[in-house]
Amino acid sequence: MPETYSPDVCIVGAGPGGATAALFLAKAGVDCLLVEKARFPRDKICGDALSGKVVQLLKKLDPSILEDLAREPTQIGSSGVVFVAPNLKALRVPFRSSTRQLDGPAGFLCRRMDFDHFLVKQTRKYPGIQLLEGTEITKYSRRDDHWILESADGTRTITTRLLIIADGAHSRFARHHGSILQEDKHYVAGLRAYYRNVSGMDRENFIELHFLKEFLPGYFWIFPLSDHMANVGVGMRSDQVSSRKVHLKNKMLEMIGTLPSLKERFKGASLEGDIRGYGLPLGSRKRKISGEGYMLIGDAGSLIDPFTGEGIGNAMASAMAAAETAVSCLGRNDLGSAALASYDRLFYGRLWAELNLSYKMQRLGGHFPGLINLVVNKAAANRTLGETISCMFEDLDMRDRLKKPSFYFKLMFGGN
Ligand SMILES: Cc1cc2nc3c(=O)[nH]c(=O)nc-3n(C[C@H](O)[C@H](O)[C@H](O)COP(=O)(O)OP(=O)(O)OC[C@H]3O[C@@H](n4cnc5c(N)ncnc54)[C@H](O)[C@@H]3O)c2cc1C
C-alpha cells in the first residue's frame, strides 16, 4: 500500500521557488508538505548569480537568513557588473542605487548545489514544513475540490486542496494542466561550465556579461566563484538558435579558444566536469499562472527576466505572492480559480512593468547591437552617464530611459 498524505497545501519542487514559498507560509503559520524528486545537496544548471532581488526577499523573509548566507564559506559577495559590448569595449559598473542602503554586497555568487541546500536547511527549522525528498510526482488528477498526486514509484499518494507548483522549467503540471507550452521566442537555451583559474577576474568580484554578436540577443558570461572557480556560460533565445543553426556548445568553445581577449584569459584554465545545458522559460509574455486549486511559481510559471536571465529572484518573488494568496484564500475557504486569480494580479502587479521593460531591452539589443556599442563607448568616457547606468539596475524609471529613442539621440549628439 502506498503511504498517504493529506496536507492542506502541497508544494511540488524544493528549488528556490518551492523552498521560499514554504518559508513564507511557515512565517504566516500555515503548514505545508514540500515534495522534491532529488535529495539535497543537488545540482541545478545555472549561472549561480544571486541578485539584489534575492537579497531583498531574504531580508523580508527573515534578516537572520541573509546573515547566515553571508557567513557561508561557499558564497562570495558581488557589487557590480562588467559589460562587454559587441565591439569588445568593456564598461565596469558598480551596482549603486539611489534607494539601496550600502550595508553589504548588492548580490552574491554561490553554486546552486550550495545555495539550494542552504535554503532547504532553513525549511528544516520549521516543524510546520514537512519535506519529502526522493519523491518524483508524475501523476496529477482532480477529484471534487482536491488534487491527487502520485509518485513515480507508486509508493506515495498525496491528496491536497491547494497545489503550489514549483517544479521548474520542465514542469509536467504546467504543460498538462496549466497549458503553458514552450514558445521558442520566449525561451532561452542555456549552457553552464565550471572553469578553474580563469585569469583577469575582477578584483571586486564583478560579474561579466559579454554581449558578443554571435549570441545576441543573449550573452556569454563569466561569473566569479569561491576557490578560484568561475561559472562560465551562454544563453541565447531558442528561436535564434534554430534559425541561425547555432551549435551553442561548439560556438562557446570556439569563442573561448579564438577571441584574443578570452583566449588569453582561459590559457591556464581547466574545465571541471561537463558543459551542461538547460532551458530558461522567459516572462516576456503574460500567462495565466493559477487555476482551480493551483498556482504556478518560478520557472514552472515562465517568469525569468527576458534581458538578464535572472530567475531565482523572480521565483522567490512569485513564491512570496503565492504564499500571501494562499493565506488569504485558505482564510476565506475559497480555492477556486476566481479566488486564486488574485495571485496573477498580485505577482504581475509587482513585476510586469519590469518584465515588459526587460523584454523591450532584449529586443532592442538583438536588433541594434550598435546601440550597446554606443552606450558602452559613451559611458566609458563619461562619469555621469556611467553613474546613471549604475542606478538603472535597481531603479525602473531610470531603466525606462534606455528604451526611449531620445536617450540614444542625446547620446549621439552630445548630451546624456
Ligand atoms: C544556464 C542557466 C543559467 C542561469 N543563470 C541564472 C543566474 O545566474 N541567476 C538567476 O537568478 N537565474 C539564473 N537562471 C535561472 C534559474 O536557474 C531559474 O530561474 C531558477 O532555478 C528557478 O527556480 P525554481 O525554484 O522555479 O525552479 P528550479 O530551481 O528548477 O527547482 C525546481 C525543483 O523541482 C524539482 N522537481 C522537478 N520535477 C519534479 C517532480 N516531478 N516532482 C518533484 N520535484 C520535482 C527539481 O528537482 C528542483 O529541485 C539560469 C538558468 C539556466 C538554465
Q: Concatenated DSSP letters for 387-411?
A: HHHHHHTT-HHHHHGGG-HHHHHHH
Q: How many Å separate Cα 208 from the centre of its chain? A: 17
Name the more confident of 371 and 39.
39
Classify residue 82: in a domain, yes or no. no
**Ligand 1 center to residue 299 CA distance, Å?**
6
Residue 77 has pLDDT above 70, yes or no: yes
Q: Which residue's C-alpha comes closest to atom 5 of ligand 1? A: 47
Residue closest by Cα to atom 16 of ligand 1:
311
- Mean pLDDT computed over 197-202: 97
Q: Residue 390 falls within a domain, yes or no?
A: no
Q: Kindly give the pairing relationship between strand 32-35 and strand 129-132.
A: parallel
Report whether pLDDT(412) > 60: no
* CA 15 to ligand 1 centroid distance, Å: 6
Average pLDDT over residues 398-408: 62
Ligand 1: which atom is nearest the Cα of residue 152? 41
Q: Are 161 and 335 in contact (CB under 8 A)?
A: yes
User: Is residue 416 in a domain?
Assistant: no
In a domain, 227, yes or no: yes
- Answer yes or no: are the C-beta atoms of 198 and 222 closer than 8 Å: yes
What's the pLDDT score for residue 96? 65
More confident residue, 382 or 54: 54
Q: Calculate the average pLDDT of the chain.
A: 91
Of residues 115 and 365, the one with the higher pLDDT is 115
Cell of 33: 508538505
- Taking CA atoms only, the protein residue closest to ligand 1 atom 15 is 311
Q: Is residue 160 part of a domain?
A: yes
Atom of ligand 1 nearest to the CA of 190: 1
pTM: 0.93
Ligand 1 centroid from CA 44, angstroms:
6
What pLDDT score was predicted for residue 414? 56
Contact 149, 140 (CB under 8 A): yes
pLDDT band at 158 (very low <50, low <70, confident <90, very high): very high
The pLDDT tens digits of the residues spanning 203-219 come to 999 999 999 999 988 99
Whether the per-residue pLDDT at 368 is higher than 80: the answer is no
End-to-end CA distance of the chain: 70
- Rounded to the nearest angstrom, the distance between the alpha carbon of 161 and the centre of ligand 1 is 25
Asked if residue 179 has pLDDT above 60, the reply is yes
Kindly report the CATH number assigned to the domain that includes residue 305: 3.50.50.60
Could you tell me which of 4, 5, 35 has the C-alpha nearest to residue 18? 35
For residue 1, what pLDDT is reported? 83
CA distance 267 to 269: 6
For 137-151, 269-283, 358-372, which range has the lowest pLDDT when averaged over its residues? 358-372
Q: How far apart are CA 177 and CA 294, in angstroms?
A: 10
Which residue from 243, 216, 207 is spatially nearest to 105, judged by alpha carbons?
Answer: 207
Q: Span 128-134, mean pLDDT?
A: 98
pLDDT band (50, 70, 90) for residue 80: confident
Q: For atom 3 of ligand 1, which residue has the closest CA?
A: 46
Count of domains forming the chain:
1
402 within a domain of the structure (yes/no) = no
> Cell 553554486 identifies what position?
111
The per-residue pLDDT for 93 is 83
Nearest CA to ligand 1 atom 50: 46
The verdict on residue 96 lying in a domain is no
Say whether pLDDT at 101 is over 50.
no
Based on C-alpha coordinates, what's the Rg of the chain?
22
**pLDDT score, position 112:** 98
Residue 195 pLDDT exceeds 70:
yes
- Per-residue model confidence (pLDDT) at position 66: 93
Residue 236, pLDDT score? 96
Give residue 416's pLDDT: 40
Pocket of ligand 1 (CB under 6 A): 12-18, 35-38, 44-49, 51, 136-137, 166-168, 172, 190, 192, 233, 235, 278, 280, 298-300, 304, 309-313, 315
Instruction: Give distance in angstroms: CA of 319 to centre of ligand 1.
Output: 13
Residue 156 covered by a domain: yes
User: How many percent of the chain have pLDDT more than 70?
Assistant: 87
Identify which of 280, 282, 307, 393 to mutate to test ligand 1's pocket (most ligand atoms within 8 A of the CB): 280
Cα–ligand 1 centroid distance for 168 (angstroms): 5
pLDDT value at residue 217 = 87
Domain residues for 235? 1-75+104-366
What gap in Å lies between CA 153 and CA 145, rounded to an integer?
25
Which DSSP state fits 304?
A: B
